[in-house]
Structure 1
Amino acid sequence: MSTGVPPPSDLAIENTNIKTAPGVTLTSEQNTIVGSILDLFAGRPSLPKLALWRDDATFTDPITIATGRDRYAAQWYGLQSAFSEIERLHHEVKDAGNPMLMDLKTRYVVKGIGKEQTIQSVVAIHLDEQGKISKVEDRWDGKLPDGAISNAFRHLNAVTVPKMINVPKNEEEDAKRGN
């Protein structure tokens, strides 16, 4: 089934060498989706990459639950503001189903204070019937918190980050940021 997902070259996707577990094969559309997600986690967002997402999609990790384009886009563009270095240490797609599951290990260095943090996670990429991203879950150490207080803080983060992070409104603004 063709989803109309453009090839990686049309989206300026930098991560095109997708590693898969033995026996896991990705379609060209899945390769594009995974490459775009790896770019986002590397702090390399762009409007064309985010066009692969539904407007009402959700990004969730232990510190945020961001639903809607304005909220999840701010999370991805916020990585550029928060970290001076982002280095992917390992990735491997271990399930090509829906959701696609990927092991990811990334080293981050916090801007200004130089604190280094390595996060190992399982990333679940959910697609809708048209092949658009409907949800991405970044489960640190394979888990997401679940509780009223932690979820309240995660929703608060999703509301406050867009107030601090300017997401480009067009390709010209995006290009000025080097995306």
Structure 2
Amino acid sequence: MTTSQETPYVHDASPKSSDSPSPTMIYHRPSLHISLPILDIVHSAAGGHYSGAPVSDEDDQVFTSPGKHSSSMEGDDIVRDRIMADLKELYCCRPSKEIFERTWRPDAVFEDPLVKCEGYAQYAPQWFAMPKIFSKSETISSRVMSFTRLPRHLVYSQTQEYTFRYIGTKKRIDSIIVVELDEDYKIIRMTDQWSGKEFSSWFVVNLVRRANALVTPWFVGAPKA
């Protein structure tokens, strides 16, 4: 929520003369502007209209002193940077059990256009399969669009370039990634929307996505949770 500022509007109703009084200053207070909900941000970014201006991470909590407010904001920055660093490791084909223990809930949901995984036994193998498929994965760019405390959401854009193992073909994917967090700032749901597009609602497509989530663990193992 952006803060309101008093904007002066100068109204001079008197005729122009050397003896006329000084112009009257009339103040108008602009109405409060509410920041867009998370889904609106995603839709806007997907349509190429997101301006890149920072989205407020303020909530309705009342801080008793500027010092506490500042400390809380610094703590949020540390948490955000830690989550972003862990996700970058995953996207760069460097998964580890420690990342999942630190940043993910065991019952978390992970979705992208190819899979819909429910729980560690399904989502962890997807990440451990990546080094077997790609010889290299590089984050070209990454930008936080929103990080809020109520609700706890992280939204960011990312461009990732993958190099397929053995054949050397490169594939670049632009994504809008939405991360939902619990009270301990662990991931409970993560959606990776390629090119910012929503997932298909077609039954057959979603059936294939669920099948992919179930089949991958047969071929790729992951450390026990």
Q: TM-score range by the shorter chain?
A: 0.7 to 0.9
Deviations for 1:132-157, whole angstroms, at most 9, x for unmatched residues? 11011100001222221110110011
Q: Give CA-to-partner distance per residue, 1:71-98, whole Å, 9 cap, x none.
A: 1100111111110111111101111123
CA distance in 1, matches of 2:110, 2:85: 16
Shift of 1:113: 2.3
Task: Indicate yes or no: 2:85 matched with 1:31.
Answer: no
Match of 1:63, SS?
Answer: coil
Matching residue's letter, 1:28 = I
Question: Match of 2:158, SS?
Answer: strand
Is 2:93 the partner of 1:43? yes
1:84 corresponds, among 113, 135, 154, to: 135
C-alpha distance in structure 2 between counterparts of 1:131 and 1:114, whole Å: 37
What's 1:75 paired with?
126
Structure 2 residue matching 1:112: 3-state secondary structure: coil
Structure-to-structure mapping, 1:1-179, within 5 angstroms:
23=54, 26-51=76-101, 52-97=103-148, 98-143=152-197, 144-169=199-224
Gaps of 5+ in 1: 1-20, 171-179
Q: Deviations over 1:93-125 (max 9, x none)?
A: 111123211110011111122221100000111
Compute the displacement of 1:23 (Å).
3.8
Q: Which amino acid aligns with 1:80?
A: P
Q: TM-score, normalised by structure 1?
A: 0.78
What is the identity, as a one-letter code, of the residue corresponding to 2:168?
G
Q: Which has the higher contact order (CA 8 A, sep 6+)?
A: 1
Determine if contact 2:142/2:159 at 8 Å carries over to the other structure. yes
Write the distance in 1 (CA, Å) between the matches of 2:154 and 2:207: 27
Q: Deviation at 1:22? A: 5.6
Under a length normalisation based on structure 2, what TM-score does the superposition of the two structures give?
0.63
The answer to whether the Cα contact below 8 Å between 2:177 and 2:192 also exists between their aligned partners in 1 is yes
Tell me the percent identity: 29
Query: Residue by residue, what CA displacement relative to the aligned partner does 1:141-179 show, whole Å, maximum 9, x if unpaired?
Result: 012222211101100110011111111348xxxxxxxxx
Q: Which runs of 4+ in 1 moved over 3 A?
A: 21-26
Secondary structure of the residue aligned to 2:205 is: helix
Count of residue pairs brought into register by the alignment: 150
| Distance in 2 separating the partners of 1:100 and 1:62 | 19
CA RMSD of aligned residues (A): 1.7
Structure number with larger C-alpha Rg:
2
